[in-house]
Chain A
Amino acid sequence: MKLEGKYTFKAARQKVWDVLLDQKVLASCLPGCERLEEVAPDQFEARLKIGVASVKGTYDGKVRILEKHPISSYRMEVEGSGAPGFVKGEATISLEDKGDKTDILYSGEAQIGGLVASIGQRMLGGVTKLMVNQFFKAMEKKIQ
């Protein structure tokens, strides 16, 4: 599933960069993140409870920040597995100045495997996008 979008944050690029890559912020903004521990620089072990309303699955896995080009772009990988199957996502996030604001462009792919993919078809796309939005909206709050 392809994911693509743009957000405009009301802050300077450096500030946005710093917040986006702050571990504590990441932990509080990743949807359903119950645990995030740094195991190596820019590598985290995570427990994510993903879904909507009461339809949620718990996945244990990794979050990685790669290809960091301060303050213009980085790549983030999330992968986890649990009883319902697995989740995998990766996105390149780019920051661009826009006056005193910053545009954030993301583009990537998400994959959900196993139970949810095989019976959750109808809402999978919508819910995935919803969670991406949640992530950026939460980030936006942290920046303001």
Chain B
Amino acid sequence: MKPPKFEYRAARTVEEAVSLLQEAGEDAKILAGGQSLVPMLNFRLTRPSHLIDINKVSELDYIREKDGKLAIGALTRERTIERSALVRQKFPLLTEATEWIGHVQIRNRGTIGGSVAHADPASEYPALVVLSDAELTIQGPDGSRTTTWDEFFVTYLTTSLQPFEVLTELRFPLPKPGSGYAFVELARRHGDFALVGCAAQVTMNGKGTCQEARLALIGVGPFPHRSPDAEAMLKGQKLTDKLISEAGQKISEEVEPEGDMHASTEYRRAMSKVFTERALKKALSRVQGGK
């Protein structure tokens, strides 16, 4: 478990990172927190020619509220997000999602940008990017561009990031007043990759009617699953147990999970219903003041 040979370069600015990527060529990889990349290197699953270390690019380490959005620099550590009072106050779903990521030691190093760019099908942050239609800012040789999840996530571990591009910022629209949230997950052990996970955010009006529901599931496909149909079923309705169950059913019929030694396709499909229901109920209870 020793990595094959690679060249190492460290950048101090985004601009420098982009130019180092260009110099290195198409087989280079960005090293952020390294919590997925380093094990993959040691297993020799990946053999990049160069590692471009962005850990010293401090301009990418921030959490700010801006124009009704929470803007987070790509190099912000997961642990920083977990402990951020601003995040907890404005977008507690992100706090809750963070708590599901691995273990403290992993969160101390892991970064939000790294997690989203790595696009593991069981990762928590991509689910929130999908759920909240977050904007992703990407910097490349020709300047910066902004994209959203439907363009960004391509398939397993694959995004539309081009070889010389760096993901720099994620902007999450803040939930509207009257919103409740939940991130629930099924894993074999604490900190394991989710077999199935569901993020939910529901916004209720004063009369107990659902104004908006957002759902994103992980572990059930190549990247997080969003269900416009299930969300539409909930919109404008009272969220009864029956309706919640129907939304869960809808999602379980939509997803196409793959099985592995821990969870079969059938099991993941069934759990997508169970965890959609659990997430919705928990989110709803939080609108009503529950913990």
Contact = CB atoms under 8 A, between A and B. Distances in A.
Whether the complex brings A and B within 8 Å at their CB atoms is answered yes
A83 B156 contact: no
Interface in A58-82: none
B121 A123 contact: yes
A56 B44 contact: no
A58 B121 CA distance: 24
Given A54-B46, A56-B46, A122 B260 contact: yes
A124 interface: yes
A126 interface: yes
Given A83-B44, A115-B43, A127-B156, A54 B260 contact: no
Contact of B158 (A53, A57, A84, A122): A53
A127 B261 CA distance: 15
A54 B272 CA distance: 29
Contacts of B40: 54-55
Interface in A18-73: 52-57
Interface residues of B, number: 23
B224 interface: no
A54 B193 CA distance: 20
Nearest to B45: A55
B35 to A, nearest CB: 15
B222 A55 contact: no
A84 B44 contact: yes
Contact of A125 (B29, B44, B48, B258): B258
B54 to A, nearest CB: 16
Interface string A102-132: 0000000000000110011111111101100
B121 A120 contact: no
Interface in B1-49: 27, 29, 40, 43-48
Contacts of A84: 44-45
Given A52-B157, A55-B157, A125-B260, 5 more contacts: A55-B40, A56-B47, A116-B45, A123-B156, A126-B222
10 contacts: A53-B156, A53-B157, A54-B48, A84-B45, A115-B44, A119-B45, A123-B121, A125-B260, A126-B121, A126-B222
